[in-house]
Structure formats: structure tokens, C-alpha cells
């Protein structure tokens, strides 16, 4: 008997239309409000690469880290490389003073070699504190987009504010690594203190 009842209900045509309307109305509302564009991950990393290129220009390393005036500035990416070709394209044929910029990639901390700038990929979110500890006080500019990278002693950390990419500088950490940054960079950055 109950089966019959269910069948009778499901055959009412007015309900079929009610159901269709229930899907259609929200769909229409949604499709007409689509005026927003989502930024691709690639675009975000193009932007981050441009930032990295800028940072290098505003940082001064101790002379001891360069063999001579023409030796390169080594920018290392640690962890899963989120940039792909973007970073290479950004620094292609660029020089800071007489120093060309070369990119090196290291998957694991144990493989890490000498470098001037170290970008820590967000694949290292679990281990970045350990990475920072192990290179502490070396003249390496550390940069990352990992949350809390700055307050745990990273030099420069990216963060989002009102849909814009900003950066924070940990001054104390910079001092420990014997790097000098220009006052312009400091003026634009959010200054944070370590824990």
C-alpha cells in the first residue's frame, strides 16, 4: 500500500516542475553573478618570482661570500619547486652589479649546497623550522610563503592582505645572518619580531 502511495506522489506533474525550478533558480542566480576572476597558481608564482628578483637587488651580502666581482649570486629552491621555468625566465640575462644570477634546486635539506638566497617551498611546511635552525647565522637570505615562516626566524615571508601579496621581514634574523637590507625594503615590509 505504501509503495502505491509513493508512486502516486511521484507522478504529480506539478511536483516535477517544482523540482526543476528548485535546480534552475539557484543556477540562474549563480550564472548571472559570475564577474569574478580567480588568479591562477602560475600567476601567483610569476609575481613571487618578480618579488625575489627585487629582493636580491636590495640586499647586501658580506664580501666573503663572493669569490670575485663576477661570481654569481646563487638562488636556491628547497623542496618541491613551485616555480617551474618561471624563476629561470625572470633572472635570465639579469645581473646585479657584475654578479649574474643562477638558480639551483634541492629536493632535500641534506642535498643543500652553498647559496646566497634560499626559497623554502611550501612542501617543507612540516620541516621548515628544522631547515632554519640548520642554516642559522649563515649569510643566506631565507624567503618563503609558508605560514609563520617569519616569526620562526625566516628572513622574508610572503603573506596575503586584502587580496594583495605582501611581505614581512624579521630584522633580528637578518642581523644574525650578517645581511644588510636597504631602508626602502624595510619601509615597504611589515616588520616582525621573532618568538
Partner 1 sequence: MKGCPKNCYFPGIKFILFTFYLCFVNQIVYSQIENDSLSTDILKQLSLEELMNIEITIVSKQSRSWFETPAAVYVISGEEIKRSGMKTVPEILRLAPNLQVAQVNSHDWAITSRGFNGAPLSNNSLANKLLVMIDGRSVYTPLFGGVFWDVQNVLIEDIDHIEVVSGPGGTLWGANAVNGIINIVTKNTKDSQGLYVSGAVGSFMKDFGAVRYGGSIGTDFHYRVYSQRFDFENTKLSDESDFQDAWDMTQSGFRMDYYLSDVNTYTLQGDFYGGNEGTLYTNIIDGQNVLGRWTHTFSKESDFSLQAYIDRTWRKLPASTFSEDLRTYDFDFQYHFLIGGLHNIVWGIGYRFMQDIVNDNPQIFSPSDRDMKLFSGFVQDEIVLVPNHLKLTVGTKFERNDFSGFELQPGIRIAWTPNERQTIWSAISRAVHSPSRFDVDLIISGIHIGKKDFDSEKMISYELGYRILPTEVLSLSATAFYNQYDDIRTINLTSQQGLVFANDQEAKTWGFEVSLNYKVADWWRLHTGYTYLDKDFKTLSIEVAPGSDIFEGIDPHNQFMFQSIMNLPENFQLDLVGHYADLLPASMITSTASTPAYFTFDARLGWQFRNWELSLIGQNLWENLHPEFGLLQIPRSVYGKISFSL
Say whether residue 115 binds partner 1 (CB under 8 A): no
- Nearer to partner 1 by Cβ, of 51 and 66: the residue is 51
Using the rule CB under 8 A, which residue among 151, 165, 178, 192 binds partner 1?
165
For the bound state, the minimum distance from the C-beta of residue 47 to partner 1, rounded and expressed in Å, comes to 6
Rounded-to-10 torsion of CA 53, 57, 63, 64: -20
Say whether residue 95 binds partner 1 (CB under 8 A): no
Under 8 Å between Cβ of 62 and 90: no
For the bound state, the minimum distance from the C-beta of residue 91 to partner 1, rounded and expressed in Å, comes to 8
The contact pattern for partner 1, residues 24-43, with x = CB under 8 A and - = no contact, is x-xxx-xx-xxxxxxxxxxx
Q: Which of 165, 164, 169 is nearest to 149 (CA)?
A: 169
For the bound state, the minimum distance from the C-beta of residue 12 to partner 1, rounded and expressed in Å, comes to 9
Under 8 Å between Cβ of 104 and 113: yes
- Nearer to partner 1 by Cβ, of 65 and 148: the residue is 148
Q: Which of 126, 190, 134, 123 is nearest to 142 (CA)?
A: 134
The contact pattern for partner 1, residues 53-72, with x = CB under 8 A and - = no contact, is xx------------------
Integer Cα distance of 43 and 40 in angstroms: 5
Amino acid at each position: 500500500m505504501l509503495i502505491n502511495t509513493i508512486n502516486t506522489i511521484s507522478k504529480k506533474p506539478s511536483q516535477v516542475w517544482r523540482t526543476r525550478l528548485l535546480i534552475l533558480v539557484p543556477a540562474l542566480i549563480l550564472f548571472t553573478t559570475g564577474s569574478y576572476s580567480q588568479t591562477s597558481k602560475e600567476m601567483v608564482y610569476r609575481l613571487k618570482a618578480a618579488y625575489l628578483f627585487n629582493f636580491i637587488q636590495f640586499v647586501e651580502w658580506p664580501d666573503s661570500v663572493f669569490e670575485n666581482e663576477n661570481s654569481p649570486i646563487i638562488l636556491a629552491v628547497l623542496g618541491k619547486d613551485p616555480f617551474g621555468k618561471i624563476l629561470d625566465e625572470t633572472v635570465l640575462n639579469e645581473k646585479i652589479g657584475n654578479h649574474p644570477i643562477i638558480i639551483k634546486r634541492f629536493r632535500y635539506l641534506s642535498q643543500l649546497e652553498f647559496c646566497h638566497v634560499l626559497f623554502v617551498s611550501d612542501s617543507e611546511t612540516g620541516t621548515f623550522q628544522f631547515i632554519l635552525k640548520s642554516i642559522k647565522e649563515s649569510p643566506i637570505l631565507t624567503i618563503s610563503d609558508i605560514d609563520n615562516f617569519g616569526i620562526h626566524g625566516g628572513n622574508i615571508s610572503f603573506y596575503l592582505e586584502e587580496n594583495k601579496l605582501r611581505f614581512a621581514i624579521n630584522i633580528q634574523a637578518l642581523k644574525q645572518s650578517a645581511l644588510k637590507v636597504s631602508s626602502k625594503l624595510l619601509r615597504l615590509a611589515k616588520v616582525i619580531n621573532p618568538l
